[in-house]
Structure 1
């Protein structure tokens, strides 16, 4: 396992996902700035998820055919520029364009970065990929409080602050990693000689599992600020701390999930963690004590997102010779499709109230549990040599 390369890529992942999580965190500010309703904030989420996730499949497809490692740094740059200038937008439509540019950068980064990271994982694939995925979840955790701080400190123009973080990282990754040729690692020697069967039904259930997981995660991340802003108007910091607990739990859970999957298997990990999510999520959405809210936000994030790298590894096992495409499906299309579903929560909120959104979020883990039970791990058909 090449720790230096994985950590460097993980830092790039941090920066990229700071920008990805910045948009949902900024929704209350955008809503106030442009006088938007919940349905219009849902449109912002829709644009974000289409451009930041669904399009990843395309980048994964072309990434498997051509050497496009430069998309790693270009993706970080575009993701940062879109968010940086979103605070300077003069109208709602320009805001959508900037959000789309940022999302395009996120889409360009992920498939190629996941593919690059897979070259350095060694024999413990789930653990190695969890190190890279950890960066993304740290970025998601840092994004909301960072944006709250920048906007409260410098008003909407504070979004420009993300450039001061991202530009040095872009330069470091280009010089220290991408200017060098990729070395074939132990991971490739182990996995390339094995031909796997492709169970399309199981792959479909895996995509559905990721979709439901995304609805839960993005639903909580996007609508918790609205839920508690109604009751804590004089405590804006409460929401940012609550989101930080949720996302920080997800960051730490990613490493735990990777190690667990290397020990008990990917399918068992998916099933166990989603059953725990079902129980914890119901408790989290119905407690009132502030300290307990922080604790359960952390626990929900920990178990829910612990399977992020696990699902990417499983997708790459279904498509072992198309790893960038597999990453685009698992970390892009499935998540993006789930994100599009979350954008419909805005319509639900306008017609039935925020409470209806959280009832839906409580039920979704049941469907994910069913999907995890129906997934069959790919079996090797032939081992060469």
Structure 2
């Protein structure tokens, strides 16, 4: 008796591998923690006018505060990422947030410029732990939708960065430096959430080989091409964050100087810009998952150039509108850049995340310091005219390798 071919085919068919599911509760919890973390961190530049008058600081000293925060984060992030690639620490995020909490309290009580720098360093250390580890957990929870996961994670930070200046304008500026301590509640909430995330991460450690298995979807490039691609991505990060430093650190001073508006009004304009950054972040990752990250990177960095060139010549209304467009377009790049880099070097998520977050923070810090000194010498408006051409570096995206679109899970 012959056996039908359909039966033979069905009995010999190899079951399809189980598709990992996206752990949205973990991603949303990470996003909330990122919101709280970056909200706290954004208080520092948001209160620069208060610190400038209270401690009689010049623009160079303001830039040095930012440099201390950013360099602390940038130097430690790759080291922490490399360490936790080899030896995962499920509760390191809790310790990092503890450093941020201590820095926040010190910032509220610091009586001198030197202690302001120490507080900035403690907050930077917390950031150095938070960003590479959270990015690793976001990738682990992505279920293969890496761009979406990074965007969800990143948007929390952008919302927090946008909310910080608004809260500073209405809570800290009227009440003074000591009121910064009220935000310790946000750090405590983040510590509680990160403890629960640490429990989940610890349970995933026996199956963390899933993260390494993603190398199957990556292009096998030569070492030289990978290095060139990473250098190009680094230059794009330089362009993006050097320009963003001109807005995040000095936008309020620019508006107050050029248009004569109040501190609170300038803070509201900064909130609008940072809100646009948050919107751009959530857009970039999913689009990169669908059409390819190279196209998102290309369009984001170079595509913002016409708007940055127009900005120094605009009135107050058009300045606001242009910064919204700049924020949306420019912010869409980072998730795509980060995931692109992670796929270039599979199995080294922590190191790559730490390297790129750290480099981004470092460029922001160096940019703030250089632009602060430049503003003291040639004026804040002239600085914006020079920075307008930074996105032209986006032309380097031409040298990024083309990558096939991975199958959606």
TM-score by length of 1: 0.92
Partner of 2:279: 252
User: Do 1:59 and 1:107's aligned partners in 2 also have CA atoms closer than 8 Å?
Assistant: yes
| Shift in Å, 1:29 | 1.4
CA contact (8 A) 1:12 1:76 kept: no
Residues 239/378 of structure 1: CA separation in 2 closer, same or farther (3 Å cut): same
**Shift, 1:192, TM fit:** 4.2
Q: TM-score, normalised by structure 2?
A: 0.87
The answer to whether the Cα contact below 8 Å between 2:40 and 2:104 also exists between their aligned partners in 1 is yes
Instruction: Please identify the structure whose Cα radius of gyration is greater.
Output: 2
> What are the equivalent positions in structure 2 for 1:232-271 lying under 5 Å apart?
235-271=262-298
Q: CA 1:193 to 1:247, structure 2 compared with 1: closer, same or farther past 3 Å?
A: same
How far apart are the structure 2 equivalents of 1:172 and 1:128?
Answer: 18
- The equivalent residue for 1:35 is 56
Q: Cα 1:256–1:141, aligned 2, differ >3 Å: closer, same or farther?
A: same
Deviation of 1:115 after TM superposition, in Å, equals 0.6
Partner of 1:179: 199
Shifted more, 76-85 versus 53-62: the winner is 76-85
- Correspondence for 1:163: 184
Could you say which residue in structure 2 is the equivalent of 1:218?
A: 245
The answer to which of 106-115 and 162-171 deviates more is 162-171
| Residue of structure 2 in register with 1:383 after alignment | none
Residues of 2 paired with 1:68 and 1:114: CA distance? 14
Structure 2 residue 339 is the aligned partner of structure 1 residue 339? no
Pick aligned residue for 2:354 from 328, 338, 350: 328
Residue 337 of structure 2 corresponds to: 311
Q: 2:397: which partner in 1?
A: 372
| Contact 1:249–1:301 under 8 Å retained in 2 | yes
Task: Please give the secondary structure, in 2, of the residue aligned with 1:68.
Answer: coil
- Contact between 1:138 and 1:248, CA under 8 Å: does it hold in 2? yes
Q: 2:302 maps to which residue?
A: 275
Q: Partners of 1:37 and 1:327 in 2: how far apart?
A: 34
| Contact 1:122/1:187 (<8 A) preserved | no
CA distance in structure 1 between the partners assigned to 2:398 and 2:216 by the alignment: 29
* Aligned CA distance change for structure 1 residues 302 and 185 (closer, same or farther; 3 Å): farther
Indicate whether 1:362 and 2:388 are aligned.
yes
Q: Which residue of 2 aligns with 1:96?
A: 117
Q: Does 1:11 align with 2:32?
A: yes
Contact preservation (8 Å) 1:120, 1:185:
no
Q: What is the CA–CA distance in structure 2 between the aligned matches of 1:379 and 1:200, rounded to whole Å?
A: 19
**Deviation of the 1:224 alpha carbon:** 0.8
Partner of 1:146: 167
Query: Distance between the aligned counterparts of 1:359 and 1:234, measured in 2?
Result: 20
Post-superposition shift, 1:253?
0.8
* Aligned equivalents of 1:293, 1:187: Cα separation in 2: 46
Mapped partners of 2:102, 2:259: distance in 1: 32
Give the CA RMSD over aligned residues: 2.1
Instruction: Using the TM superposition, give the Cα deviation of residue 38 of structure 1 relative to its aligned residue in structure 2, in angstroms.
Output: 1.1
Q: Deviations over 1:15-58 (max 9, x none)?
A: 11112222221222111111111111111111011012332111
Counterpart position of 2:86: 65
* Alpha-carbon separation, structure 1, partners of 2:106 and 2:270: 23
Count the aligned residue pairs: 377
More deviation, 328-337/217-226? 328-337
Structure 1 residue 276 displacement after superposition: 2.5
Query: 2-side partners of 1:377 and 1:9: how far apart?
Result: 31
The alignment status of 1:209 with 2:236, answered yes or no, reads yes
Deviations 1:323-357 (A, max 9, x none): 00000111112431343133111111111111221
Superposed CA deviations along residues 200-233 of structure 1, whole A, max 9, x for unmatched, are 0110110111111001112111111111222565
Alpha-carbon offset, residue 112 of structure 1: 0.8
- Supply the distance in 1 between the matched residues of 2:110 and 2:402 (Cα, whole angstroms): 47
What residue ranges of structure 1 are gaps of 5+ in the alignment? 381-385
Q: Against the structure 1 CA distance between its residues 295 and 68, is the aligned structure 2 distance closer, same or farther, given a 3 Å change threshold?
A: same
Q: Relative to structure 1, is the Cα distance of residues 318 and 299 closer, same or farther in structure 2, using a 3 angstrom cutoff?
A: same
Three-state SS of the structure 2 residue aligned to 1:320 is coil
- 1:142 CA drift (Å): 1.0
